[in-house]
Amino acid sequence: MAEEFAAVDVIIAKRDGHALSDAQIDWVVDAYTKGVVADEQMSALAMAILLRGMAPGEIARWTAAMIASGERLDLSAITRPTTDKHSTGGVGDKITLPLTPLVAACGAAVPQLSGRGLGHTGGTLDKLESIPGWRATLSNDEFKRQLQEVGAVICAAGEGLAPADRKLYALRDVTGTVEAIPLIASSIMSKKIAEGTGALVLDVKVGSGAFMKDLATAQELARTMVELGKASGVRTVALLTDMSTPLGLAVGNAVEVEESLAVLQGGGPADVVELTLALAREMLDAAGLTGADPAKALESGAAMDSWRAMIRAQGGDPGAALPQARHAETVTASEDGVVAAIDAYDIGVAAWRLGAGRARKEDPVSFGAGVLLKVRPGDRVSRGQAVLELRTDDESRFAGARDLAEGAIRIAPAAPAPTPLLLDRIA
């Protein structure tokens, strides 16, 4: 270990609004990873960072220290250009599923290291594990081989990648420090830079169903991450996208896989298709594949072929039936009018209460549980018309989800002004 410090002195320095030195940052991240700095001390430092913030130089050094806590994958042997996408998380956000094979079908290699859901936001790995046989854990050699041969990998990050982040991520979740922009930015970017991708497109969500509730805060986070990526030699761009309404019509695990398959078959909800194509174009452009047309790859079936190859490579059966929930209940409109809003956060929590998500990282999820939307904002409805379908394996869960789901649908006399899906682009 390099120069030694007392953890309390580092905490006090940040508590009092001082910038931490490079040596202090290197030491505290390394010492925390090794267990020298205790959880309660890092909790105090995380809260000080939340309240006092960090200068760009501090965030860059913190990110570098997180990367240095573990291994960094070398993807230089991959013959295709590498490009990846990261979403800050939302409700109904299944975009990684159709996007990864689509971009691979256009000639890139997509090393997509994904996570599990916690709270109201869904996890890509949970969705894919609803496919019989599919496995999330790959060795580094398996990861690189599939990336070279198939061009598309979606799997869990290995234990050796940014272990400091794994410890700190779990701590932030239970200490009220998830929203600290320096810690969000360094968490995301340390993993993506360590992953070894050459280009990265960030999908920064804004709205009730996102961690960033307002555009200004989301723009600050996006700018911070784009600068971190560029400083590490990764071509990085961010799209800010609306998460006030759930993406698509399905929220859950298997139900989101079904919707993703509809997109890969050339159909699917318009907003899911729009965002998938927008992100695909950005990823291909960042990878230097400017001549590729992702819309054609969807239409031709090439993206679906890529999906099947990706699922098979990880032990899954792309033709197998997906799990179905044992029980379903319909929610109807309380009055005549126009759907003015569908609150993403409330729908996400309703799906979680039905069993689609988890309260603790070790909890199991119900693959068939979730919420299916029957309407979108702007649709005219009549009293008694079906607006949602709730699905669960445990009927006792309906009670906790029903009120939230009913309250998520807001009906008004007139149609609201449409909200664009793409709010900003930062590069």
Identify the H or E element spanning 426.
strand 422-426
Q: How far is residue 78's CA from residue 367's CA, in Å, rounded to a whole number?
A: 34
Tokens 């702007």 -> residue = 378
93 is catalytic: no
Token reading at 105: 């079908």
Of the candidates 164, 178, 223, 186, the one whose C-alpha atom is nearest the C-alpha of residue 59 is 186
Active-site hit among 69, 187, 190, 306: 187
Q: Which two tokens stand for residue 63?
A: 């990110």
86, 94, 116, 205: which is the annotated catalytic residue? 86
Which regions of 249-345 does DSSP assign to beta strands (E)?
A: 250-252, 327-332, 337-342
Spell out the residues 6+ positions from residue 172 whose beta carbon is closer than 8 angstroms to its own.
46, 178, 180, 183, 187
**Residue 321 carries which DSSP code?**
P
382 is catalytic: no
Q: Supply φ then ψ for residue 336, to 5 degrees.
A: -75, 150
Question: Is 396 one of the annotated active-site residues of the chain?
Answer: no
Tell me how far apart the terminal alpha carbons of the chain are, to the nearest angstrom.
Answer: 37
Active-site pick, 172, 205, 281, 353: 172
DSSP-derived 3-state class of residue 398? helix
Query: Encoding tokens for residue 285?
Result: 């452009």
In the set 165, 203, 343, 346, the catalytic residue is 165
Q: Across 134-252, where does the E strand assignment appear?
A: 152-156, 199-206, 235-242, 250-252
165 is catalytic: yes
Between CA 35 and CA 204 the distance in angstroms is: 32
Catalytic residue from among 166, 191, 235, 353:
191
Which amino acid does the sequence have at 233?
A: G
Check if 223 is active-site.
no
Q: Which residues are catalytic?
A: 86, 165, 172, 187, 191
